Amino acid sequence: MKKISIIMAMLLLVMAALAGCSGSSDTAATTAAGETTAAAAGETIKLGVIGPLTGEYSMYGTSVEEGAKLAAEEINAAGGINGSMVEIVAYDSKGDKTEAVNAYNRLRDQDGIVGLIGGTFSGETLSIKEIAVGDNMPVLTPTATNGEVTLNAPNVFRACYTDPYQGSTAAVFAAENLGATKAAVLYNIEDPYSEGLAEAFNEKFSALGTVTNFEGYTANDSDFKAVLTKIAESDPDVIFLPDYVAKVGIILSQIQELGLDVVAIGGDGWDGIEVDYADVAEGDYFANHYANTDEAPIVQNFISAYEAKWGKTPSALAALAYDSTYIMAQAIEKAGSTDADAIVAQLAATDGDYVTGHITFDENGDPVKSISMIQVVGGKHVLAAKVSAE
Amino acid sequence: MVLFLQQLINGLSVGSIYALIALGYTMVYGIIKLINFAHGEIMMAGAYFAFLIAVSTNLPFVAVMLISMVLAAVLGVVIERVAYKPLRNAPRISLLITAIGMSLFLQNLALVIFRADPKIMPTLIAKHPINIGPIQVGTVTLTTLVLSIIFMVILDVFVKKTKPGKAMRAVSEDKDAALLMGINVDKTISLTFAIGSALGALGGVLYGITYTQVYPTMGILPGLKAFIAAVLGGIGLIPGAVLGGFAVGMVETISKAYLPTQWTDAIVFGILIVVLLIKPTGILGKNEKEKV
């Protein structure tokens, strides 16, 4: 019995020390596990971020973390939320669903976050969703585009548009702006994001033209020459590739090597493609959340602040995370407390101009906004059109 | 027909990379009866060597390739000397476990040194299609195919015509008798590792160029497929590895071309099971009774 109490005491000490390390001020050490209500002025308000910070897809998680931290810094410089400082606590999900749940539990129990800016991927957000609904945790995911994420979850919101909306918009853009009559679709059957976009595109484009091929591949595939040779035979005008840069880059390289005369279109997973694959993606289009060539002052201010802090051009994910952090902070400010119900009510009432456009939420918690179609030209983003699927 | 020919070339190109890696498995197995699970990681190391050389110098593709092969050969010999040689008279299972350990060690070492995010291989070969009659073939595809065949021919001549090649065959036939005939067995085994590793590295360099990325776990899947290729062709037999590699690549490509792509892996592994049920020693393997 004595032993147990000693161990418990040591554990508590270690936990307090850990909390002290991660906190920016010594008051953070007093934040007890699970406590989300009492946060008097002067105490730190912690917001969680979950995303892949290492691994193949680390660029996405890192962007979200950096966007959120930039927003938090600006909010703190302007006096914080009702006098309280904001702190972003980011944990690595490695893009894995189980790791994401572990990260969420740690944020809730150990760090006592008030709200969550995350997860970054649809898959990981879906795995967190049910637990977050049970906890009534205010969740605003910057980047999870899968349709299911906000369904039957009054406390879950998102700053990006949905997969189906994005897929249909890409189809409308292909048919109406590019005048395509034949389209091929090549998607990752293991990924709900890729599949969601592919199906929405397929459905919409079938009404506007012909879908010649609807092909899938698995996450481990790296040879696409066989399936691309098959697609080339039906000579489509456009090929829809709804996947992330790491995979799209490989596919585009092989399209170039095989000499296929086809325009590729993608979703927001393509963001950042110009870094490593500018030459193979030249002239191709993708749906994105904002164009960094947009002249609006809010956009240009964000870009220059981000470049000054992180020394690189912000991706759309960073912009969404930046917006999400502001939306969440404003909701907490208006709620006047860290009470979850009050924050959720204020989130639902969001109505304002942000970097990624004017945002209001519909009854599901999905944003209502138009989509920027970006063309990759000379390694830069050029705004081709602003399109809406409706 | 044109489409089929084009797919055939795609299949040969994929298969030639598997064949190059499979050669390393089969040569090592032939000489010390070890399935060298670290071979996929040697392929990965070869790709990283090429990446590092290409990024830091302006050497042409052929030089990058040859230097990577030499470095990988050295790595292969070091691994053999450090991890496998002390266990030469230990039970075979110990050797196998050591090989698995070595594979995980190299993978994690690469993770620590290079981090997990994929590195983009610089464009060593300009990518564009070439017309051969009615069919269009990519430059990388063609280079892969031609280089693999050149090195396979060199290997064949080396093993059959030269003294060290004959020594390799002698050691794989009967180690003790070879020793009695005055063959330096240790040197011959090291040579086998060097050649196998160099070929694996060539596979890695070509894989990295074809699929544009280099990352620590890149050796796992091609390594596994190449191992299957070696077993399919008859492990321990050099022509078997080449045949097996091309067979796996071809089955993969043709099934992707004419069936829903999600079936590819199921078909490749299914064929392996069927072949092994009918002919347990592989396509070219002879049914030998194990001496007790």
- Give domain status of residue A26, yes or no: no
**How many angstroms away from the CA of A230 is the closest CA of chain B?**
6
- Give domain status of residue A284, yes or no: yes
Residue A26: the pLDDT is 39
Which amino acid type is present at position A204? K
Query: Which one, of A177, A215, A236, A179, lies nearest residue A384 by Cα?
Result: A177
Count of domains observed in chain A: 2
Residue B201: the pLDDT is 96
Rounded-to-integer distance, Cα A81 and Cα A346, Å = 14
Same domain, A195 and A214: yes
User: A371-377 and A380-387 as β-strands: parallel, antiparallel, unpaired?
Assistant: antiparallel
Same domain, A280 and A324: no
Per-residue pLDDT tens over the stretch A365-377? 998 887 889 999 9
pLDDT tens string for chain B (292 positions)? Answer: 788 888 888 899 899 999 999 999 999 998 888 999 999 999 999 999 999 999 999 899 999 999 999 999 999 999 999 999 999 888 889 999 999 999 999 999 999 999 877 888 988 888 888 888 788 788 888 899 999 999 999 999 999 999 999 999 999 888 889 999 999 999 999 999 999 999 999 999 999 998 889 999 999 989 999 998 999 998 888 899 999 999 999 998 888 888 877 677 788 888 888 888 988 888 888 766 554 4
Q: What is the pTM for the complete model shown?
A: 0.74
Same domain, A218 and A325: no
With vertex at residue B117, the alpha carbon angle to CA B115 and CA B123, rounded to the nearest 5 degrees, is 115
- Give domain status of residue A86, yes or no: yes
CATH code of residue A181: 3.40.50.2300
- Give domain status of residue A349, yes or no: yes
- Give domain status of residue A363, yes or no: no
Residues of B with CB under 8 A from a CB of A: 3, 6-7, 10-11, 13-14, 115-118, 120, 123, 127-129, 136, 138-141, 210-213, 215, 221, 252-254, 256-257, 260-262, 264-265
Same domain, A334 and A264: no
A59/B257 Cβ within 8 A: no
DSSP state of A81: B
Greatest alpha-carbon pair distance for chain A in Å reads: 78
Residue A357: the pLDDT is 82
Three-class DSSP labels, A118-175: CCCCHHHHHHHHHHHHHHCCCEEECCCCCHHHHCCCCCEEECCCCHHHHHHHHHHHHH
Query: Which one, of A81, A36, A359, lies nearest residue A347 by Cα?
Result: A359
Residue A303: the pLDDT is 93
Same domain, A65 and A133: yes
Same domain, A155 and A200: no
Same domain, A187 and A277: yes
Which residues, 6 or more positions from A295, have their beta carbon under 8 angstroms from its beta carbon? none
A52: closest chain B residue by CA: B117
With vertex at residue B172, the alpha carbon angle to CA B166 and CA B177, rounded to the nearest 5 degrees, is 85
Counting every residue written for chain A, the total comes to: 390
Supply the Cα-derived Rg of chain A in whole angstroms.
22
Same domain, A57 and A140: yes
Same domain, A324 and A278: no
Rounded-to-integer distance, Cα B253 and Cα B250, Å = 5
Residue B269: the pLDDT is 83
Same domain, A167 and A279: yes
Same domain, A154 and A186: no
User: Phi then psi for A384, rounded to 5 degrees?
Assistant: -90, -40
A56/B128 Cβ within 8 A: no
For residue A258, the enclosing domain spans: 163-288+372-387
Rounded-to-integer distance, Cα B154 and Cα B161, Å = 10
Per-residue pLDDT tens over the stretch A43-69? 899 999 999 998 778 888 999 999 999
Residue A23: the pLDDT is 39
- Could you identify the residue written with the tokens 């039906």? A234
Per-residue pLDDT tens over the stretch A240-296? 999 999 899 999 999 988 888 999 999 988 988 888 888 899 999 999 888 878 788
Rounded-to-integer distance, Cα B135 and Cα A186, Å = 23
Whether omega for the bond prior to residue A119 falls within 30 degrees of 0, making it cis, is yes
**pLDDT at A1 exceeding the cut of 80:** no
Interface ipTM: 0.80
Q: Which residues sit opposite A372 in a β-bridge?
A: A288, A386
Rounded-to-integer distance, Cα B213 and Cα A290, Å = 28
Interface A–B counts its CB contacts (< 8 A) at 96
